[in-house]
Structure 1
Amino acid sequence: MIASANAAADASAEPFVVSGEQSELSAITLKDRSLSEYAQWQKPAASDSRPSSDYIDNFARNAGDALFFSPGVWINGHDAYEQRLVLRGFAVGNRQQRANAVVLRDGAPLTDVHGATNLREIDLLAVQRVDVFRGGAGPLGYGGENFGGIVNYVSPTGLNMLAGLRGRVDAGSSIEGTPGGRVHLDFAGVSPSGVVDYFVSATGGYESGFRDNNEMQDGVFNANIGFRLSSNFKTRFFFETVYSGSELAGGLSPADAAADPSQAAPPITLGPLFPGGPIIEFADGASADNFSRDLLVGRVANRTQFNVFGHDFDARLHYTRRDLESPQIDFIGVLDETGSEWGARLSASRNLQFFNIDTTYRFGGAYSTGEQDSNRFENDDGEAGFQTVDTRQKSTNLNAFFEAALRPFKKLLVDMGAKFIITDRELTVDDGDTPEDARFTGVAAKLGVVYDLFEDVKIFANASRTYEPPAFSELIADNPEDFNDLDEQDSFTYEAGVRGSFNDWIGWDVTYFNSDIENEIINLDEPETNGIGSTLANVAETTHKGFEVGLDIHLMPNRTDRALTLRNVYSYNDFRFVDAGSIGDFDGNRIAGIPQHVYRGELRYDETGRWFAAVNVQAVAGDFYADHENAFSAPSDIVLGFSAGWQLTDQAVLFVSGENITDTNYAAGVTPVTSQSTVNGRIFTPASRASVYGGLKYRF
């Protein structure tokens, strides 16, 4: 199963140049191939690339399912279909959908101009791979504004897919008889001249959900068409339409989650304050309030590459339209947002000899702007009633960057760069003439080295400074009609690691990182809302440090007819308050919401071209605090799953997968609070029950 190194290895000395249709974000992967195949594996950054083979044989519901084997990534479920990507612990408890990582689709931002990310916009069946750069040492043309790093979902094209029509049907159920499934079709091809290629896909899905008020239905259309007009000019257009309708069951208190994890969030009440006193109801609960989220998205993007004046230019444009309607609990109301954004990015790179040193440099900039009407209405049993908020939100981002990679001698690569960033937020209330505005400016910078210790073993180290402005939703978390006084966040990180392989039997990637953060934004709870309502505050000083480990062991090397592979991913998370300031006596406490130890693994056996079978596990251990007081811990858990597949004919593949097969009642997500003993918060999202899904893939 391990492929030998190919021509892409020749590009490894050119950190910004990759072969074929791979983007410059391409990183490394340890699965089934030699590390030296990947042109980017010499970047001095913690990175990996997750191919679709990681998840394609499972019933992968959500965008985060593609990152099971990505070290340093934690998926925090805020509902069955509402996931937050948490890289290195940043924004672990944020309710505002703020991205701690820049999330891209084919290099164009999925994270909107206001700083929010909705992963429901991703259809994993229309993704070829996911590139992940953790921290601030990745390509500055895409990152630097977010602490966590960069996540890029890359589409298939007609150049890397077999021509023709393919279909797929999935169906299954949980142990409690809650069915679900999806249907997918895609079509790819290349014109006889090779000038034009195309890929088109459509997916529709339905899940009844094992909890009350938890149905989901969605439909996604993706297409791209590429034109290679000459050896020096090519362009590709991307089109996407997404509809997602999800009922949201809401979080549960520890007692409710233990007693009946299938229930939706019950009403929020206060009292009785004395025996026989009245009970005050603040909100009706998820079912009565029709807690849900309906999202409609249209996106068009273009990437054009050409060479002029000895430079390789990369120009990108995107336009996105989003409509969102979300009935929430009573005291929030019905949220109705409609808006659009557009953006452009241009970069240029060149390889040259600089004082007889092999050098690659790249420079460029980006501009994006967008507006949305953000309105709220009273929640009348799930319907919009009297309007309570009428605002218009506008955001603008502008940045410029320069980075360079030098090879002063054969075994050493030096990578450096800097980026200047301006973010403007503007809030207009009731069509007023004097909008409130806030401007945030920052600088991101990096310096890293990679040293070839041996032919297939490399060590790397880097130092980076990262800047992150508050998202729009964070600035209005206290009051939707007024900005709060949140400041931008700054982080300084140093990290070091070693990656390599041995005789194509073992591949590994080990990274240690330490980030010192000023003004990290965290949630502060409001006791009367049972952990559902919160405000936000800057923490004077925090630290995030830990280890990220990926290890693949091929237990049957040098076999072409069969393979037995053990895959391992481990993360050690040590995230703490250093100076909590006025928010509480938390100095030295762990930042709640993420386990101290996370292990994921898979043992898979393949009979090449015939069948495969695999078992997988996720285990968490150590401290898993649910509150910043560190007085209340979420339980540790071990979750088991399996997958198998059979090649029925040259055109048909049958597969089956099982999730949580021991039916463990555990928390798929935790929203931390300041003091759980005070709040008794509804901070747990129960994970799905034991379930089995099967499917059939057919190539026409």
Structure 2
Amino acid sequence: MPRQFRASRRAALLLFTCATPAAAQTPSAASVTLSELSVVGAAATDAPSDETRGSLSVPSVDRQRAALAGTVGSVAFVDTAALQDRYTNTLRDVLKDVPGVYVQERYGQELRLSVRGSGIARAFHLRGLELLQDGIPLNLADGSGDFYQVDPLALRSVEVYKGGNALTFGATTLGGAVNAVTPTAYTALAPNILRVDGGSFGTIREQAQMSRIDGPLDGLVNATLTNSDGFRAHEAQATKNFNANIGYRIAPDIETRFYLGTYITDQKLPGTLTLGQSLSTPTLANPTAITGNQSRKVETERIANRTSFLLDVGKLDVDTWAIHKSLYHPIFQAIDQDGWTYGISPHWAGTLDLGGFRDDVVLGLRAFAGQNSALQFVNVRGQRGAQTLNALQSASSLEAYGENRFWFLPDVALMTGAKAFSSNRTFSDKGGLPGNPNPRFADVTYAGVNPKVGLLWQPRPNIQIFGDVVRSRDVPDFSDLVQQNLLSTTFVPLRAQRAWTYEAGARGRFDRLAFDVTLYRSDLRDELINFATNPGLNIPAATFNTPRSAHQGVEAALTLDLARDLAAAGDGLSVTQIWTHNDFRFVGDPVFGNNRIAGIPADVLRTVLSYRHPRGFHVAPSLDWVPQGAFADHANTLRVPGYALLGVEAGLDLADGVALFVDARNLTNARYVSDIAVVANAAATAGGPATLAAFYPGSGRSVFGGIRASF
């Protein structure tokens, strides 16, 4: 083995101790190793590293971290061992310590999740960001998605690939990808876990997890039940999540693993309020939400398989999956959908020796498709009235991608990569209804190539500097394409969103200071922009292409170890500052000029002071601060106020694997707006901006606590 290969392995192990994540794509490719999330004190953990755990299909957490940190670009890693002693109900609770990720709660488990302005003005669900579980897509075939299949208590780690840095999965959307990794019997924190937590708003949740290893066979099951009345009226939720995986080592170099999941959500919708109501009577529900008994009932079943082959050079993973989703969603109309998404994806990663130089290579294909029966009815107090739509949505995609990191110097790598894709959307409205008598049909295909190039330099074993340029494309989904329009066409004539993103950053540690800073700019063409046509009625937003726009910002996190051995040998006090700066603007738009794109505030800051005692006591007060709120409209006539939220988390690890914790939030009971259903021009609202019902109030003071037993 060339000497530079061995040296880069030693650098990887050193970075495990200095940070948390590490380097390349396969267990043999651990050349450059650095973490982004290691700088976040709130995400730190004293859980021992166990590099020996893991299997062929699912590597150990250390190796997951190492593979992520070899990315030439901005990434983040969350080890959920650090989240066991906090109340984690949604992805907001999992990702709030990741710089560059904007995630805000609307109600229940419904969120706005945006990375670098992906889906910035969309008032429902997910766009411009790929959501995966165990590396296998959760999004529907048209690219849309939601968060109801992700159970925070069923996760072992979370990987965040920002922007085009998600090419390792074949994702090249503006926002990138979030990969939620569930535990196996090898990576689970304990063979048995029982947990009960709850608190404010009538919340109670129970979790049970069990895992076993028997020779070549291993298995894990996890079940979580949640019931909550919610902060607002008409916000009650009940969820039942079941995850399981079974692995079998067919031969020393072959392993197969099946994933099974069932996810049932029954969520009442409180709707949006006016700005005045949000700040004075935030627990109210929108009257339309009550009279229409608006809700979201989702039943999802998922089966997936990964079969891994360890080859003479590299490793081949072959993923297959099928997802069945049934949705009943009475809002402005009663939406009744039922569909399947299915796909296959072979993925090879390996390290080559090219004349004594290390060359890390990733090659992959993805083919996936789906059909969705889309029915709509008049909403009669939450029940089906007269039918208004009988349609079939079909989507398919074929993708090929590759990425290469060539180490032309022992500490410098040139990264090149590209993805070619073709995505089809087909819509068939059968008509034959009193208000919709005529059949309609539409078909459109989007195709393109997204290249990427970058450099990674590691001047010291615990310092990493990178820069890259990547092209992204976001393809419209059916919610964008099928909307009423003045042209009376079945599909709105939308173009795919295109962007060139430039980023540069550094991450590492100097003595007691850990840091991670990334600056980026995206120059967009035909950005898919949304605005709500009537947010008070919960009518889905309209979508249009703005000719030019720009997204730029700063993603920064710093952690300083303030003191050690304060009250006892081995204790520690640290402070973490996270800053996400967002500057998203139209550029010469014929209607909105150079205005800010509404929906996300310019600055989001989070400060955490953490103390941990070696006997298991830990406490972490925090401050979440938005100095100036976001605009509610693209015309920039109405802005919501900024806010500051105080919280504190504390816990105690007792003997025999028992732990207690408490999580108190918004201690001052601040009134604030958590999210916005963006409109085009608030000043044009009938009755004036004061009557605009487009705001989701944030939750008031709350306290949650729980007990966990691991054995």
TM-score relative to the length of structure 1? 0.90
Aligned to 1:377: 377
**Alignment partner of 1:510 is 2:517:** yes
Query: Relative to 1, partners in 2 of residues 1:137 and 1:678: Cα closer, same or farther, differing over 3 Å?
Result: same
Deviation at 1:123, TM superposition (A): 0.7
Aligned to 1:165: 192
Deviation at 1:78, TM superposition (A): 3.5
CA–CA distance in structure 2, aligned partners of residues 498 and 615 of structure 1: 28
- After TM superposition, the structure 1 stretch with the greater mean CA deviation from structure 2, 485-494 or 83-92, is 83-92
Residue from 668, 678, 687 that aligns with 2:684 = 678
CA contact (8 A) 2:279 2:673 kept: no
Q: How does 1:199-278 map to 2 (within 5 A)?
A: 199-266=220-287
CA–CA distance in structure 2, aligned partners of residues 541 and 373 of structure 1: 35
CA–CA distance in structure 2, aligned partners of residues 497 and 253 of structure 1: 40
What percentage of aligned pairs have identical amino acids? 29
Aligned to 2:501: 493
Aligned to 2:204: 181
Deviation at 1:660, TM superposition (A): 1.1
- Letter aligned with residue 101 of structure 1: L
Deviation at 1:27, TM superposition (A): 7.1
CA contact (8 A) 1:303 1:316 kept: yes
Count of residue pairs brought into register by the alignment:
663
Residue from 629, 636, 639 that aligns with 1:630 = 636
- Letter aligned with residue 68 of structure 1: K
CA contact (8 A) 1:163 1:190 kept: no
- Letter aligned with residue 509 of structure 1: D
Q: How does 1:247-396 map to 2 (within 5 A)?
A: 247-266=268-287, 285-308=288-311, 310-329=313-332, 333-396=333-396
- Letter aligned with residue 305 of structure 2: N
- The one-character-per-residue Cα deviations of 1:329-360 (angstroms, maximum 9, x if unpaired) are 3xxx1000001111000122332122432112
CA–CA distance in structure 2, aligned partners of residues 186 and 633 of structure 1: 45
Query: Relative to 1, partners in 2 of residues 1:527 and 1:436: Cα closer, same or farther, differing over 3 Å?
Result: closer
Q: How does 1:407-486 map to 2 (within 5 A)?
A: 407-430=407-430, 435-478=441-484, 482-486=490-494
Aligned to 2:558: 551
Residue from 109, 126, 132 that aligns with 1:104 = 132
Q: How does 1:577-592 map to 2 (within 5 A)?
A: 577-581=586-590, 584=591, 586-592=592-598
Aligned to 1:538: 545
- The one-character-per-residue Cα deviations of 1:470-503 (angstroms, maximum 9, x if unpaired) are 0121111337992111110100011101111123
CA–CA distance in structure 2, aligned partners of residues 366 and 580 of structure 1: 36
- Letter aligned with residue 209 of structure 2: D
- After TM superposition, the structure 1 stretch with the greater mean CA deviation from structure 2, 555-564 or 631-640, is 555-564
SS at 2:350's partner residue? strand
CA contact (8 A) 1:51 1:128 kept: yes
TM-score relative to the length of structure 2? 0.88
SS at 1:694's partner residue? strand
CA contact (8 A) 1:48 1:131 kept: yes
SS at 1:40's partner residue? helix
Deviation at 1:255, TM superposition (A): 2.1
Residue from 666, 685, 691 that aligns with 2:702 = 691
CA–CA distance in structure 2, aligned partners of residues 476 and 58 of structure 1: 41
CA–CA distance in structure 1, aligned partners of residues 22 and 88 of structure 2: 36
SS at 2:153's partner residue? helix
SS at 1:556's partner residue? strand
Superposition RMSD on alpha carbons, in Å?
Answer: 2.7
Deviation at 1:601, TM superposition (A): 2.0
- The one-character-per-residue Cα deviations of 1:301-349 (angstroms, maximum 9, x if unpaired) are 11111034634211101110000001103xxx10000011110001223
Aligned to 1:282: none
- The one-character-per-residue Cα deviations of 1:12-35 (angstroms, maximum 9, x if unpaired) are 9962114799xx999753354899
Aligned to 1:44: 72
SS at 2:631's partner residue? coil
SS at 2:273's partner residue? coil
CA–CA distance in structure 2, aligned partners of residues 289 and 154 of structure 1: 38
- Letter aligned with residue 603 of structure 1: L
- The one-character-per-residue Cα deviations of 1:384-429 (angstroms, maximum 9, x if unpaired) are 1111100010100110112111000111011110010111011111
CA contact (8 A) 1:429 1:481 kept: no
Deviation at 1:597, TM superposition (A): 0.9
Query: Relative to 1, partners in 2 of residues 1:556 and 1:142: Cα closer, same or farther, differing over 3 Å?
Result: farther
**Alignment partner of 1:573 is 2:582:** yes
Deviation at 1:622, TM superposition (A): 3.6
- Letter aligned with residue 618 of structure 1: D
Query: Relative to 1, partners in 2 of residues 1:381 and 1:564: Cα closer, same or farther, differing over 3 Å?
Result: same
Aligned to 2:533: 526
CA–CA distance in structure 2, aligned partners of residues 365 and 395 of structure 1: 17
Query: Relative to 1, partners in 2 of residues 1:511 and 1:155: Cα closer, same or farther, differing over 3 Å?
Result: same
CA–CA distance in structure 1, aligned partners of residues 205 and 23 of structure 2: 42
CA contact (8 A) 1:113 1:369 kept: yes
Residue from 653, 660, 675 that aligns with 1:654 = 660
Aligned to 1:148: 175
- The one-character-per-residue Cα deviations of 1:637-680 (angstroms, maximum 9, x if unpaired) are 00111111122322311111111111111111112211111123
SS at 2:286's partner residue? coil
Deviation at 1:543, TM superposition (A): 0.2
- Letter aligned with residue 582 of structure 2: N
CA contact (8 A) 1:531 1:683 kept: no
- The one-character-per-residue Cα deviations of 1:525-570 (angstroms, maximum 9, x if unpaired) are 4379678553211000000001100112222358863121222211
CA–CA distance in structure 2, aligned partners of residues 554 and 5 of structure 1: 22
CA contact (8 A) 2:564 2:571 kept: no
- Letter aligned with residue 493 of structure 2: D
- Letter aligned with residue 633 of structure 1: R
Query: Relative to 1, partners in 2 of residues 1:642 and 1:106: Cα closer, same or farther, differing over 3 Å?
Result: same
SS at 1:137's partner residue? helix
- The one-character-per-residue Cα deviations of 1:151-193 (angstroms, maximum 9, x if unpaired) are 00000111122553221011211xxxx31110000012222x3
- Letter aligned with residue 70 of structure 1: V
CA–CA distance in structure 1, aligned partners of residues 538 and 338 of structure 2: 28
SS at 2:289's partner residue? coil
**Alignment partner of 1:132 is 2:140:** no
CA–CA distance in structure 1, aligned partners of residues 22 and 193 of structure 2: 38
Q: How does 1:20-59 map to 2 (within 5 A)?
A: 29-30=38-39, 31-32=43-44, 38-59=66-87
- Letter aligned with residue 446 of structure 1: K
CA contact (8 A) 1:306 1:312 kept: yes
- Letter aligned with residue 212 of structure 1: A
Query: Relative to 1, partners in 2 of residues 1:166 and 1:231: Cα closer, same or farther, differing over 3 Å?
Result: same
User: Is there any run of 5+ residues in structure 2 with no aligned partner, and where?
Assistant: 1-10, 50-61, 432-437
